Structure 1
Amino acid sequence: MASPAISSSAFLPFFLLFFSLFLFLSSADETENAAELVSREFFPMDGDLAWVVQVSDLHLSAYHPERAEELAGLLGSAIRVIRPDLLLVTGDITDAKNSKRTSTRQDELEWIQYRNAMDTLVKQSGLERRRIFDIRGNHDKYGVPYVGSALDFFSIYSVSSQFKRLGTIQSVSLVGDDQRYIFLGIDDTMRIGVRGPSNLFGHPTGNRIRAVEAELQHSDNNSGVLFTKVVFGHFPMSFTASAEKGERYEPVFARHSVSAYICGHLHSKFGKQLWRLHTSEVLSHVNKPKTVEQFWEWELGDWKEFRFIRILAIDRGDVSFMDIKLSSTNEPPSDFKTAILVTYPMDSRSMSRVKDHTQQVRNDINALVFSVQPILNVTANILDSSRDFKMVEEIPLQPATDSSKGKPLYHAKWNAENYISASATRYWLHLLVIDSQGKQTASILRPFSVEGKTAKFSPSWLAFLVFDLQWEEVFHVLQWSNISFLILLLCFPKIVNLLMERNSSYQKWAVSVSISSSIVQRKFVFRLFWFLIEGSRVKTLCFSAERSAACFYSSKNTKCSDIQMHFDTGNYRTFIQSYNCTTRSFGCKICAGWLRKALLFASAVIACLHFKLVSGMMEAYGAAPVALSPAVSWVPPLLLAAAIIYSTNEESRSVETMREATKPEEYSDYSCYDEKMGVKGHCHSSSRRSSRAGTAGSARTRKK
């Protein structure tokens, strides 16, 4: 027997499936094997003290031009006073959203604003353009299909692009007398720039993590130079996914003694003190036990709403920072408020780390004072919290003599051995500064530990939620919890129905409640469960129960006991016949009308909301991708239409089934039965004749 011919169209789905799988595997292999580009820069520094300025989440927008104007004005004036070694811009340079903030897309005008603002900043501040390093954030990758595409405006207008620093890793080295400070920038944005809100996490690759480790390892191999390493990026560790094989940055940073990781992304609305001390056990050598290594993570508030900047200093390997909120443009640029950054001793709540046993306690106090006016006096006050914050020592600070002219470093010697304590918060430091105009400025009162002990820091619940939780792991829990809840919600009524389907006592109770209890007296929970359970039962019984309830409430002549008696004896047919004697049209209006109309109205509202979401997606992605996606745009309306048609057909069949079940045998035509029951209609003559003939035949048979 010859086999049937197979049409060529049958192979099309299999061909598309294997072709898509081939493209996916090819792209995954290409991503895994792609080399990570690393750019390297070296700058000299005076002495062994350096400080940089960080700004993040600019969100320059065509609809908010004041952000770019203040970036050039406020930040330019501040940098002219601070005079940092580097300026780090850690992502989300542009907003990339429309005026209603309902869609995401790259806007070239916003990138032109950024380029012009940075040009003005360089002129006003005197900062060398090459010392500005900017990296991408997730907003800078919205809708960018690949690096180098026509929508990749970062590669055209950013400062890094002007110096061909377009790799995913930027290594910057500040070389001093005895120290070398490395700032390592990482771009962990998605390779294919999905639009928001899906583009929210950092996505490093295995090759990128290994390239970062190679850069850090290179400094470890130079044993003759002391290195301090700071990594900057856009995404916090809590919003950074693992690589393909589960690799992460945290053990790499701990293994190579990274001092701090600075980032942005979360904005100040989640908290202005998003700090976290990461601790990892590291195996340095095979024959040696594991050691505990730590590094700090500090998130900076946004420029978009709050105009935050950060000054980060490295003083002989000790890293400290302070965050400043710049004033508005209504105040003159020369009115820059005096800022005091104590570089040593460090704040034990957010900067201290356990010192190595080879490190000695430093017998000095250092502070950077940034001010428009000349400084006349700087005094350090040491307070003892165990004695009600009584002052135990007052130390005057003098300008550092070994620094170049104009460097805002103030220094003093002290006996640090006097402040060794078992508590990290016993001794507190407070600085007072007086400028040439007699204005006094005080630093923030903060605890310190000369031994490097860390005080307990208790973040708010919101800060803990967004900064301490690993959202990569929480995401899977939330995803499967939602799926399980939906499955349970959909299956629960059917499960209960299957368990109670053959329970006659339950059926009598359900029908009894449906016809004898007042709707007003029923509680909401009972209504919900009764509707879910009874709604999935035999449609004929449910429909008759529903109509019988309307019959009971509309007819004052029918007694509940009579109706209940019919159900108790199982005489459903007699009960339904008695129901047909009541006002039939009223029951249809109540039970078959308002309930289904309410459900239809709710479905229509859901459909309208769906179309609103679809229109928003079409505005963001274009009409073609959404229109060609049946699961997104067409399935809900089609399901709604199918539900309406199905429910209408089921109702018609239920009515016919009920009438067929309740029609007496002597009526062969529904119209005759309806006329007999008091419903308008006309009996056909053939029906009457056949009925009379049948009756006469039966009578003759009995006579015989």
Structure 2
Amino acid sequence: MSIVRSVFFLALGVLAISSMCIMIQNHLTVESVNDKENLQPSRHHVLSLGQEDDDVLVFVHISDLHISAFTAKDRYEQLNEFCNINLKAINPGLVIASGDLTDSVTPDNLVVDQFIEEWAMYKALYTICQNVSSVPHWLDLRGNHDNFNINGYNSPNNYYPKFGSQRLHPSGSYMTTIETNNKTKYAFIAVDATLDIGSKRLLNFVGQLDDTRLLKLQELDQAASKLNVNATIWFGHYPSSIILTYGILPGLRHVAAKGIAYLCGHLHTFSGLIPHMYSNHHSGMLELELADWKHNRMYRVAVIDQGLFSFADIKHKTWPVIVVTNPKPLLTVQPSKEPVELMATSTHIRIFIFSPLPINSCEVKLDEGSWQPCKRSGQKHPLYTAPWQPELYSKGLHVLQVRARDSSGSEMLSKIEFALDDTKPRFPLSARLTLMLDFTTMSKVLFAVSIILCTLPFCIIRRLQLRIIQRKMTVLRIRTSCIRLWVRKFWVFASINRLLFPFLAYTVYLTFGPWFIAHFVQDRVGVLFVWGTLFDDGLYLPGTTTYFYCAIHVIFFNMLLVIILAHTADVRYQEKILKKGTDSRTMCRKITSCFPISIFLIFHGITCLIFWQSYGYLSMLVNPARSWSLILAFYLWLTAKRLDTPQLTLAVKTWN
């Protein structure tokens, strides 16, 4: 009967894991979209893709500027250079600055606050950009760094309403419409997802959109539809996967489903691990995370060419800048939102080449063919064209290479893949995981799994021990020595009530009890739980980043602690029961046995100091989950080290 039950639960576990994998796969898989509700209101007034440049909009996207009044002065100097040289050469219709405009961090990189000097520097920057480079529109919004230590939008130290270029929009979210020379309209909608109460560092990473903000975004989307715009571009600081939506209204991905693209930043390409963080949602909308200016000096040049959206992410001081708009790069093709059918009937390859110096040469190469010259055709924009026969490339995947050189000798080679049939793009799995999954949900899952791993195995061991004592099963026999060694360690640990019960109680406490009390915002006191934060005036903020940090704590504290305790208890078991090692307990070995717990306590003691630096002394004094847990860990280790024969009785009965 026990075998049947074991097989049943094993099959149930496999089914659950398989279902989860299928769910994730379905969530990440993007099929071709043909949803009429997601089509742009107007796809007319487009010209043939020949040599004209009447219906073109060029814009620039920059993110995570992190202007600092204390460090990295070259960052700000190069931003001024970007305004004076890059924007003047590109001549965009607008610039989008998508958050983290200021750094808001002291030179020691520990204390965060809003500094009026940094905001004054930012205002001076975009004022120069608009005056010197004749940029007609500078669209910006706040990021999490711009919201550090802010007690609400109307807080005296919230400097965005005083220094931001779009400070006249009190809700943070707004819409701007742009017209091309051909009277084509495009809408740009800003998504402000910063927290209502901007706490200090560590807990101010995830954005939030409640029903009030989502309703505002729906109104902006409806307003764009009434204006009969040809396309909508959404932009915000946080990727959609890093935004918590709570309420009855659907989330950002649903509200922005009609948009061509959602432009964002915030993740800094995960320190270079995902340099091209692009994905395509089920609505057909592209989500394009941009690498930061702070460390990587990256910016994006985007072109909407007669309804076709293309872009290139460029590192500062890289010239010439090449953006191919026909044929579109495969990763940017959106049949439900753009007139992509124009590519198959076009007469010319279309390339926009930007440089502060004249372009001396331009060449294109299709597949394995020869290099062909291209010439400047645009009068208002640096459009270069080359004749081609699209019918020769109507099937499958093809490669277009563009080579351009300016008068200084700087040369750039751009290579894109394109297809004129229904060949689907393949976005990197790492980018899809990052942009399409939900960070808060995955953090909850990670936290739940970590709690289960720290509790369920020991409950199962205790159950097995009880059955062995009741003679309902025999003592375990494990042949593999390594596995037998570690099973014995955890078996001994689970048999000792003085170790197991406090450890389980602490682990379960983390799921519902308060972690610590601290000044999360200025002098405002709050109580942090894994599921949210309660402030002294009754305000409640749902848990977001808390689940992730708590899961990391369980992994690096609870799991490591149980390994140390199990090993220490097993050493005492060998000494007292198996009579091994009693003659070799030299002073050196006794000192060496203290190394694991010493390193463990020092490491977690340092992490507690980080909380003190971030939230003040109160977060250290009233911190059951972190600072108090160090006392518990040391007490349990001493208990394991001093175990005597009576405490090991259960282990003897069920293991030997």
**TM-score of the pair, normalised by structure 1:** 0.64
Shift of 1:262: 1.1
1:141 to 139, 143, 147: 147
CA distance in 2, matches of 1:521, 1:322: 53
Task: Give the percent of matched residue pairs that are identical in Structure 1 and Structure 2.
Answer: 22
2:418 to 404, 428, 448: 448
Within 5 Å, give how 1:157-306 maps onto structure 2. Answer: 157-161=163-167, 164-176=168-180, 177-222=182-227, 225-245=228-248, 247-254=250-257, 256=258, 258-268=259-269, 269-280=272-283, 294-306=284-296
Q: Which residue of 1 aligns with 2:59?
A: 52
Q: Which residue of 2 aligns with 1:63?
A: 71
Q: Which residue of 1 aligns with 2:567?
A: none
Q: Which residue of 2 aligns with 1:337?
A: 319
CA distance in 1, matches of 2:487, 2:355: 71
Write the letter of the residue equivalent to 1:431: V
Q: Which residue of 1 aligns with 2:395?
A: 422
CA distance in 2, matches of 1:553, 1:632: 35
Contact residue 279 and residue 427 of structure 2 kept, 8 A = no
CA separation of 1:456/1:325 partners in 2, compared to 1, >3 Å: closer, same or farther?
A: same
CA distance in 2, matches of 1:193, 1:620: 13
Shift of 1:190: 1.4
Shift of 1:188: 0.8
CA distance in 1, matches of 2:240, 2:490: 45
- Match status 1:325 vs 2:309: no
Contact residue 398 and residue 412 of structure 1 kept, 8 A = no
CA distance in 2, matches of 1:543, 1:88: 62
CA distance in 1, matches of 2:252, 2:387: 39
Q: Which residue of 2 aligns with 1:457?
A: 426
Within 5 Å, give how 1:649-688 maps onto structure 2. Answer: none
Write the letter of the residue equivalent to 1:373: L
Write the letter of the residue equivalent to 1:67: R
CA distance in 1, matches of 2:98, 2:243: 15
1:350 to 323, 328, 332: 332
Q: Tell me whether 50-59 or 339-348 shows the greater mean CA deviation.
A: 339-348
CA distance in 2, matches of 1:485, 1:544: 25
Q: Which residue of 2 aligns with 1:531?
A: 492
What is the SS of the residue equivalent to 2:194?
Answer: coil
- Match status 1:399 vs 2:377: yes
Shift of 1:174: 0.9
Contact residue 352 and residue 449 of structure 1 kept, 8 A = no
Shift of 1:189: 1.4
Shift of 1:76: 3.2
What is the SS of the residue equivalent to 1:137?
Answer: coil
Contact residue 88 and residue 133 of structure 2 kept, 8 A = yes
Write the letter of the residue equivalent to 2:311: F
Write the letter of the residue equivalent to 1:260: A
CA distance in 1, matches of 2:499, 2:620: 40
Q: Which residue of 2 aligns with 1:613?
A: 607
Shift of 1:465: 3.4
Q: Tell me whether 94-103 or 143-152 shows the greater mean CA deviation.
A: 94-103
Within 5 Å, give how 1:429-440 maps onto structure 2. Answer: 429-436=400-407, 439=409
Q: Which residue of 2 aligns with 1:33?
A: none
What is the SS of the residue equivalent to 1:89?
Answer: strand
Q: Which residue of 1 aligns with 2:91?
A: 83
Within 5 Å, give how 1:499-510 maps onto structure 2. Answer: 499-502=467-470
What is the SS of the residue equivalent to 1:156?
Answer: helix
Aligned length: 518
CA distance in 2, matches of 1:543, 1:528: 9
* C-alpha distance after superposition, 1:18-68 (max 9, x if no partner): xxxxxxxxxxxxxxxxxxxxxxxxxxxx94211111111122332322212
CA distance in 2, matches of 1:606, 1:298: 40
CA separation of 1:454/1:160 partners in 2, compared to 1, >3 Å: closer, same or farther?
A: farther
Within 5 Å, give how 1:430-579 maps onto structure 2. Answer: 430-436=401-407, 439=409, 441-450=411-420, 453-459=422-428, 461-502=429-470, 524-525=485-486, 527-529=488-490, 531-532=492-493, 535-536=496-497
CA separation of 1:449/1:354 partners in 2, compared to 1, >3 Å: closer, same or farther?
A: farther
Shift of 1:370: 1.3
What is the SS of the residue equivalent to 2:230?
Answer: strand
What is the SS of the residue equivalent to 1:279?
Answer: coil
CA distance in 2, matches of 1:199, 1:538: 36
- Match status 1:373 vs 2:373: no
CA separation of 1:358/1:326 partners in 2, compared to 1, >3 Å: closer, same or farther?
A: closer
CA distance in 2, matches of 1:598, 1:501: 36
Shift of 1:179: 0.6
CA separation of 1:87/1:639 partners in 2, compared to 1, >3 Å: closer, same or farther?
A: same
Contact residue 400 and residue 416 of structure 2 kept, 8 A = yes
Shift of 1:230: 0.7
Q: Which residue of 2 aligns with 1:624?
A: 618
1:307 to 288, 297, 310: 297
Contact residue 307 and residue 339 of structure 2 kept, 8 A = no
CA separation of 1:619/1:537 partners in 2, compared to 1, >3 Å: closer, same or farther?
A: closer
* C-alpha distance after superposition, 1:440-481 (max 9, x if no partner): 745412233456x4543241x543432343333322321211
Contact residue 262 and residue 285 of structure 2 kept, 8 A = yes
CA distance in 2, matches of 1:300, 1:552: 60
The runs of 5 or more residues in structure 1 that have no matched partner are: 1-45, 281-293, 328-335, 511-519, 555-585, 656-704
CA separation of 1:526/1:219 partners in 2, compared to 1, >3 Å: closer, same or farther?
A: closer
Write the letter of the residue equivalent to 1:323: D
CA distance in 2, matches of 1:538, 1:227: 67
Contact residue 493 and residue 532 of structure 1 kept, 8 A = no
* C-alpha distance after superposition, 1:381-417 (max 9, x if no partner): 4x2x4xxx124x946433325x3xxx3233566554x
Contact residue 574 and residue 581 of structure 2 kept, 8 A = no
2:383 to 402, 406, 409: 409
Contact residue 73 and residue 121 of structure 1 kept, 8 A = no
What is the SS of the residue equivalent to 1:305?
Answer: coil
CA distance in 2, matches of 1:295, 1:635: 46
* C-alpha distance after superposition, 1:632-662 (max 9, x if no partner): 44454267559869998x979999xxxxxxx
* C-alpha distance after superposition, 1:592-624 (max 9, x if no partner): x99999888765654444443332211111113
Contact residue 281 and residue 436 of structure 2 kept, 8 A = no
Find the structure with the greater CA-based Rg: 1
CA separation of 1:533/1:477 partners in 2, compared to 1, >3 Å: closer, same or farther?
A: closer
The runs of 5 or more residues in structure 2 that have no matched partner are: 1-52, 501-569, 649-656
What is the SS of the residue equivalent to 1:321?
Answer: strand
What is the SS of the residue equivalent to 1:165?
Answer: coil
What is the SS of the residue equivalent to 1:343?
Answer: strand
